[in-house]
Amino acid sequence: MKECLKNILIIGTGGTIAGTGTTGITCHYEPGKLKLNNLIDKIPDIKSLANINYIDMFNIDSCDMSFEKISQISKYINNNIDKYDGFVVTHGTDTLEETAYFLNLVIKTEKPVVLTGAMRPSTSLSNDGCLNLYQAVALASHEESKSKGVLIAFGDSIYSARDVQKTSTYKTNAFNQKDLGCLGFIRDNKIYFYNISNKVHTVNTEFDINNIQKFPKVEIVYFYMNSDIKILKFIAQNSDGIIISCAGCGTVSTDWFEEIKNLVFEKNKIIVFSSKINNGLVNINKKFENNIICANNLSTEKSRILLTLALTKTHDISKIQEFFDKY
Ligand code: ASP
């Protein structure tokens, strides 16, 4: 162990970064096959960045990630904060932004926590996992990464867990923050920050993962032209809270509007309006007399994470709206 280097813990969860398939090919592979030691061995230079420790926590496709598994990651980090200077989580890209935002709300440290993954399996030509992991360790070891909330290192860029979104199904620069750009760049192992998220995170949230025994059931309903109202009714009967992925800046058809009024005013359902555009702002609520929560600029999937955690604390609509404006 080198005294001058930071101690970084890499937590493996699977995904394409740990995927294997036909040599040279980017499609037709299985995610979550390699253990972390196989990945780390492919990047000899990583050991000059930090003292590397690792644990293979899961080896899954990130579509099989769950609140219970994210809780396990959160608790592991929270319980081992004193042992390490920073943390890296390797993760499948399909739900990376959801795990990142969840961690951003429940991790209790100012130390860097960085997520990364890959779009190409380890066996493909020009796979991106090695460089992404190398840069994630560089970011987690960097002094300036402290107190910025959970970060994502991907495709030579730095993103905040609050705003990052996957925006390509196959390109290696698969993430961005849409209108908000990114927080910074990474060239080789050099870190360049330019922006910061102003939203409250980590040590300053009121969510304590140790106090959550059971997660409320929050589901997403997608509105589109001619969408069948029966889907909304079914979800309403089978959930504690609903995110409606609306059109535009929070609009739905007349029949959906009437049913939502019924759910809110007659059945006291907790409903959040987000936009299927996942960019821009949903902030108008006048028609519902402040009985609908607006997602602000939070994406539909992240609105579900926040409402799930919010419902472990309160059912008060105005308090939950405050959460959406603050987090
Ligand atoms: N299906 C994979 C996963 O999310 C995709 C990826 O990692 O890029 O685990």
What Cα–Cα distance (Å) separates residue 243 from each residue in 94, 220, 288, 302, 304?
20, 5, 15, 10, 6
Between 124 and 3, residue with greater pLDDT: 124
pLDDT at 287 over 90: no
Architecture of domain 214-326: 3-Layer(aba) Sandwich (3.40)
**Average pLDDT, integer, range 18-41:** 95
pLDDT tens digits, one per residue of 121-134: 999 999 999 999 99
pLDDT reported for residue 24: 95
Orientation angle between helical segments 300-310 and 317-326, nearest 10 degrees: 130
Looking at beta carbons, which pairs linking 26-35 to residues 24 or more positions away fall under 8 Å?
Answer: 26/119, 26/120, 26/121, 26/124, 26/125, 26/170, 29/121, 29/123, 29/124, 31/60, 31/61, 31/62, 31/92, 31/121, 32/58, 32/59, 32/60, 32/61, 32/92, 33/59, 34/122, 35/59
pLDDT reported for residue 177: 97
pLDDT at 206 over 90: yes
pLDDT reported for residue 223: 98
| Residue 174 Cα: closest atom of ligand 1 | 8
pLDDT tens digits, one per residue of 194-205: 999 999 999 999
pLDDT reported for residue 74: 98
Ligand 1 mutation target, pool 26, 61, 170, 301, most atoms within 8 A of CB: 61
**Average pLDDT, integer, range 290-305:** 97
Ligand 1 binding pocket (C-beta < 6 A) is: 15-16, 31, 61-63, 92-94, 117, 119
**Residue 234's closest CA among 254, 259, 216?**
259
316's CB contacts (< 8 A; 6+ apart) are: none
Cβ atoms within 10 Å, residue 211: 8
**Average pLDDT, integer, range 251-263:** 96
pLDDT tens digits, one per residue of 102-115: 999 999 999 999 99
CA of 146 to the centre of ligand 1 (A): 27
Q: Phi-psi region for residue 230, left (φ > 0), alpha (ψ -120 to 50) or beta? A: alpha
Compute the distance between CA of residue 36 and CA of residue 113 in angstroms, rounded to an integer. Answer: 17
For the chain, give every residue range classified as CATH 3.40.50.1170: 2-204
**Residue 121's closest CA among 10, 38, 8?**
38
pLDDT at 3 over 90: no
CA of 95 to the centre of ligand 1 (A): 8
| Residue 119 Cα: closest atom of ligand 1 | 8
Contact 115, 100 (CB under 8 A): yes
Reply yes or no on whether 16 is catalytic.
Answer: yes
User: Where residue 165 falls among pLDDT bands split at 50, 70, 90?
Assistant: very high
pLDDT reported for residue 2: 75
Contact 87, 114 (CB under 8 A): yes
Compute the distance between CA of residue 25 and CA of residue 227 in angstroms, rounded to an integer. Answer: 39
Ligand 1 mutation target, pool 17, 33, 63, most atoms within 8 A of CB: 63
Name the closest-CA residue to atom 4, ligand 1.
92
Going by CATH, does the domain composed of 2-204 fall within 2.40.160.20? no
CA of 34 to the centre of ligand 1 (A): 13
CA 267 to chain centre: 31
> Among residues of the chain, what percentage have pLDDT more than 90?
96
pLDDT at 289 over 90: no
Name the closest-CA residue to atom 1, ligand 1.
61
| Residue 61 Cα: closest atom of ligand 1 | 9
pLDDT reported for residue 131: 98
**Average pLDDT, integer, range 15-35:** 95
Work out the mean pLDDT of the chain and round it to a whole number. 97
How many CA atoms lie within 13 Å of 56's alpha carbon, on the beta-carbon side? 15
CA of 314 to the centre of ligand 1 (A): 34
**Average pLDDT, integer, range 6-31:** 96
Spot the catalytic one: 16, 26, 99, 202.
Answer: 16
